[in-house]
């Protein structure tokens, strides 16, 4: 554990490095009767000079920053006893106290100890839902495929009354709702949002790996002139409360071949249910 105790600095005798003090960053007021000056060098435990360290008074507005060779100078310090500290990110702080007479220059060397931030690894046990998603290839496809992947964590942030609401705003998907805003049907736009364009077609739907027919018979190429009464929407076949995770592939080119469906170019939606993932529906969790 990194010690939080404040380190006492080393006070050294005058040495030749103070010749470079004129180049240091200075903040404070000019020397005058009743004031003194603090000069010094900031080094680490390996005696390497530390640039950019902040040296500041704990009793007043006096402060400075060590220059490129670790040197600093603060003038205008009131005569008497003063408390100062030094700090820099990556180093432990140091605090020191000294007494000066009027007109005196106090010279110090401040030693900062490097802080090694070594974090212990965090190991989290894999949950049942994540294990199930891994088993069905969800995470593998998420890393290798061009699609949109709505994990349980993402779905939990979306308050949706209908399953089709989860797909709103997903790239390459246009949701068409029935009269009165009833159940929605997902249409693929080839990866581009072309809402209202004729260049869309009904996407393939798979629930827990099995193909599910939605739309009208006409949408599926089985007949012409199907009425809206014959229409089966996404929300007719699954409720939002049963959805555990979703994969969306805006075109057949981007999706896994085994889930390409009949209309390969229209894209595919894979829905994994909470039952499949062994996750209790909302309202039934402990």
Question: What is the per-residue pLDDT for 24?
Answer: 41
Distance (Å, whole) CA 261 – CA 207:
12
**What are the phi and psi torsion angles at 256 (to 5°)?**
-65, 135
- Global pTM reads 0.52
DSSP state of 232: B
Q: What is the pLDDT of residues 163-222, one digit of tens each?
A: 999 998 888 888 888 766 678 888 887 644 443 445 568 889 999 999 998 887 666 555
Question: What is the per-residue pLDDT for 4?
Answer: 40
Question: What is the per-residue pLDDT for 1?
Answer: 39
Q: Which residue has the higher pLDDT, 11 or 240?
A: 240
Question: What is the per-residue pLDDT for 66?
Answer: 95
The first and second tokens of residue 58, run together, are 């704990």
Q: Where does residue 159 rank: exposed (0-12), middle (13-18), buried (19+ CB within 10 A)?
A: exposed
Query: Model confidence at 33, in pLDDT bands (50, 70, 90)?
Result: low
Q: Where does residue 98 rank: exposed (0-12), middle (13-18), buried (19+ CB within 10 A)?
A: middle
Over residues 34-63, the mean pLDDT reads: 92
Distance (Å, whole) CA 188 – CA 176:
11
Of 190, 240, 236, the closest CA to residue 213 belongs to 236
Distance (Å, whole) CA 18 – CA 138:
64
* Alpha-carbon distance values, 45 to 79, 91, 114, 160 (Å): 30, 10, 7, 58
The first and second tokens of residue 56, run together, are 């500041």
Q: What is the pLDDT of residues 83-113, one digit of tens each?
A: 999 999 989 899 999 999 999 999 999 999 9
Question: What is the per-residue pLDDT for 128?
Answer: 82
The mean of the pLDDT values for the chain is 77
- How many angstroms from the chain centroid is the CA of residue 276? 30
DSSP, collapsed to helix, strand or coil, labels residue 188 as strand
Distance (Å, whole) CA 123 – CA 117:
18
Q: What is the pLDDT of residues 106-150, one digit of tens each?
A: 999 999 998 876 556 666 667 788 889 989 999 888 887 788 999
Domains belonging to the chain, first-starting first, are 7-112 (2.60.40.1120), 128-273 (2.170.130.10)
Question: What is the per-residue pLDDT for 62?
Answer: 94
The first and second tokens of residue 33, run together, are 């009767």
Q: What is the pLDDT of residues 227-271, one digit of tens each?
A: 555 788 999 999 999 999 999 988 766 678 888 766 556 789 999
Give yes or no for residue 20 having a pLDDT over 50: no
Q: Which residue has the higher pLDDT, 189 or 57?
A: 57
Question: What is the per-residue pLDDT for 208?
Answer: 94
Question: What is the per-residue pLDDT for 227?
Answer: 54
DSSP state of 203: P
DSSP, collapsed to helix, strand or coil, labels residue 250 as coil
């Amino acid at each position: 554990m990194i010690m939080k105790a404040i380190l006492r600095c080393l006070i050294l005798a005058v040495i030749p490095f103070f010749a470079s003090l004129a180049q240091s960053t200075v903040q404070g007021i000019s020397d005058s009767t009743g004031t003194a000056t603090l000069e010094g060098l900031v080094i680490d435990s390996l005696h390497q000079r530390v640039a950019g360290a902040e040296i500041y008074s704990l009793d007043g507005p006096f402060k400075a920053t060590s220059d490129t060779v670790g040197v600093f100078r603060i003038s205008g310090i009131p005569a008497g006893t003063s408390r100062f500290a030094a700090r820099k990110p990556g180093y432990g702080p140091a605090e020191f106290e000294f007494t000066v007479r009027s007109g005196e220059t106090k010279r110090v060397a401040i030693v900062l100890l490097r802080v090694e931030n070594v974090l212990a690894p965090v190991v989290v046990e894999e949950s049942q839902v994540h294990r199930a998603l891994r088993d069905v290839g969800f995470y593998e496809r998420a890393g290798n495929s061009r699609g949109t992947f709505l994990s349980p964590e993402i779905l939990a942030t979306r308050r949706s009354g209908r399953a089709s609401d989860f797909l709103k705003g997903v790239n390459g998907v246009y949701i068409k709702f029935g009269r009165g805003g009833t159940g929605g049907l997902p249409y693929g736009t080839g990866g581009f949002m072309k809402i209202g364009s004729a260049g869309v077609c009904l996407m393939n739907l798979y629930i827990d790996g099995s193909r599910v027919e939605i739309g009208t018979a006409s949408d599926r190429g089985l007949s012409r002139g199907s009425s809206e009464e014959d229409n089966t929407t996404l929300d007719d076949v699954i409720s939002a409360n049963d959805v555990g995770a979703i994969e969306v592939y805006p075109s057949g080119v981007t999706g896994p071949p085994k889930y390409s469906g009949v209309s390969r170019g229209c894209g595919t939606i894979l829905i994994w249910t909470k039952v499949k993932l062994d996750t209790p529906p909302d309202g039934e969790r402990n």
